[in-house]
Structure 1
Amino acid sequence: MADQNIDKKMSRRRFIRNSSYVAGGLVGGGLIGGLIGSNLSNDNKDESGTKGQQHENTAYQQAPLYFTNPEIFAILVAATDRIFPEDETGPGANDLGVPFFIDHQLAGSWGNNTREYMQGPFFPGSNFQGYQSPLKRHEVFDAGLQAIQKYSNEKFDSNFAELEGEQQDEILTAFQKDEVKIHGVTSKTFFNILRQATIEGVYADPAYGGNINMDGWKMKGFPGHQMSYHGQIESDEFIEIEPNSLHSYTNK
């Protein structure tokens, strides 16, 4: 559902190409700095309805740390999977562990705005001023996800996670267009934070709970964290490099 997804004819490959700047930015920061996430999963669906998969180099347990209500967590799972869906190019947000990545970040310093000035006075900001809410990010997600559920029940008489994909897209588009009222934050601001967090979960190092198996990097040909490019830097030909995660260094 991002700006690119409004155009139904736009391919997933083009979306990934247009968001390529995110991968580079994640190497140095983004959401990274909160609690380290987890990648351990199985072939069955867990209680939240998230389908996991066996994969190599797993070091952490995949389980919610912030969302204690499975119904609310299911909204996050469904919303992120509509923002970054699975298709012929590769896995979607769900299979990449993005909901757990976001959950773990909300439980840490990022979700609590630990390193940011959060004192008043607070004045309404324009849509061009970014984050202007007195709410901390975990409170923005609480309010936003509850608003998604309420709007879904009002419009379709059903929970968001139970709707068809096109219905979910319609709801997320309303939030993107700032058509839904949320106390303490605009729906557009919430959607933008949710979308950005989803993309960061796709491309962050797997050590932080998303990008399972480095599949987000593999879709883009991004090499991840390499100790050195000494052997390739002077090559005149394009060299494909197997991506490398921080796991490879921390597990030694």
Structure 2
Amino acid sequence: MAEEKKGVSRRDFMKTTGIATGTLIGGGLIGGLIGYNAKQDTGTQGTSQGNGQGENDHPMNVGLKFFTNANAFNVLSQATERIFPEDDLGPGAIGLGAPYFIDNQLAGGYGMNAKEYMQGPFKDGEKTQGYQSRLTRAEIFSQGVAKLDEEANKRFQTGFAELEPEQMDEILTAFQKGEVEMLAVTSDFFFKLLRQATIEGVYADPIYGGNWNMEAWKMKGFPGHQMAYIKQIEKEDFVEIEPNSISSMNH
């Protein structure tokens, strides 16, 4: 996997996007991150290739099922890391396994739009409407990831995974604004799918391939799936509970 790029801290990220107050600013989860991040000191880059887990906690389903091309997977990984970056509070999207979560989802019903009506006629939908593209999510991600790399080579004469953080932000911003031309889908729609899938990969139950070792839940203080709260419910003070995955419910 290509080395991780760091920039804005998660604390700054949360303040800028309004996550800390339960709101979203700028029409997107990283609306405040991109552009703002270019003002930060991005000279320090992480070199960790691990997943932020102990060797006994490594999930079994981390093999690639959809992005069999290593470069395409690296592009996806670096894009997710810009959306949810690693900092002193904990791992980012890469360290939490979000790219593997997305890869596994695209290889299944999510990627095939198994639950959506995908027959014509197709027309440009309004922003308030749901899924409108004639393409499946798998096709959109394949095209979108390739376009990220294409745009990087066009602007900076190198691949997306090799760019500096502020250069990645510039390209992701262009996608978020719908400025990059794509076939049968807009780039802002791809960006929306990418952002949503990244956050799902970060916070979903680990059985789906992301949120490795439940580190994202631990950062949030989220207990995951508990059998009961009888011993804690009457307590007035906040109770820290070690999170449980669905996979532990039968143990």
Residue in 1 that maps onto 2:183: 183
Residue in 2 that maps onto 1:82: 82
Q: Which amino acid aligns with 1:99?
A: P
Residue in 2 that maps onto 1:11: 12
> Is 1:146 the equivalent of 2:184?
no
Distance 1:9 1:218, change over 3 A: closer
How far is 1:129 from its partner? 2.5
Deviations 1:102-128 (A, max 9, x none): 000000111111111111111012333
CA distance in 2, matches of 1:200, 1:171: 22
CA distance in 1, matches of 2:83, 2:136: 23
Mapping for residues 62-211 of structure 1, pairs under 5 Å: 62-211=62-211
| Structure 1, gaps ≥5 residues long | 1-6, 22-44
Which of structures 1 and 2 has the larger relative contact order (alpha carbons within 8 angstroms, sep 6+)?
1
> Is 1:220 the equivalent of 2:220?
yes
CA distance in 1, matches of 2:197, 2:108: 14
| Structure 2, gaps ≥5 residues long | 1-7, 25-46
How far is 1:236 from its partner? 1.8
Q: Which amino acid aligns with 1:104?
A: N
Distance 1:85 1:18, change over 3 A: farther
How far is 1:91 from its partner? 0.8
How far is 1:12 from its partner? 3.0
Q: TM-score, normalised by structure 1?
A: 0.80
Contact kept in structure 2, 1:50 and 1:77, CA below 8 Å? no
Q: Which amino acid aligns with 1:132?
A: Q
Q: TM-score, normalised by structure 2?
A: 0.80
Structure 2 residue matching 1:181: 3-state secondary structure:
coil
Q: Which amino acid aligns with 1:12?
A: F
Residue in 2 that maps onto 1:40: none
Structure 1 residue matching 2:189: 3-state secondary structure:
helix
CA distance in 1, matches of 2:214, 2:203: 8
Contact kept in structure 2, 1:130 and 1:189, CA below 8 Å? no
Residue-pair matches, total: 219
Contact kept in structure 2, 1:12 and 1:87, CA below 8 Å? no
Deviations 1:218-250 (A, max 9, x none): 111110011111111122221111111122135
Distance 1:59 1:163, change over 3 A: closer
How far is 1:155 from its partner? 0.8
Q: Which amino acid aligns with 2:120?
A: G
CA distance in 1, matches of 2:212, 2:173: 27
CA distance in 2, matches of 1:219, 1:9: 11
The two structures, once aligned, show a CA RMSD in angstroms of 2.4
Q: Which amino acid aligns with 2:150?
A: K
Contact kept in structure 2, 1:207 and 1:245, CA below 8 Å? yes
CA distance in 1, matches of 2:144, 2:21: 26
Structure 1 residue matching 2:110: 3-state secondary structure:
coil
Distance 1:19 1:99, change over 3 A: farther
% same residue: 53
Structure 2 residue matching 1:110: 3-state secondary structure:
helix
Deviations 1:106-162 (A, max 9, x none): 001111111111111110123332431110100010111111111111111110001
How far is 1:62 from its partner? 1.5
CA distance in 1, matches of 2:116, 2:49: 32
Contact kept in structure 2, 1:175 and 1:187, CA below 8 Å? yes
CA distance in 2, matches of 1:8, 1:159: 24
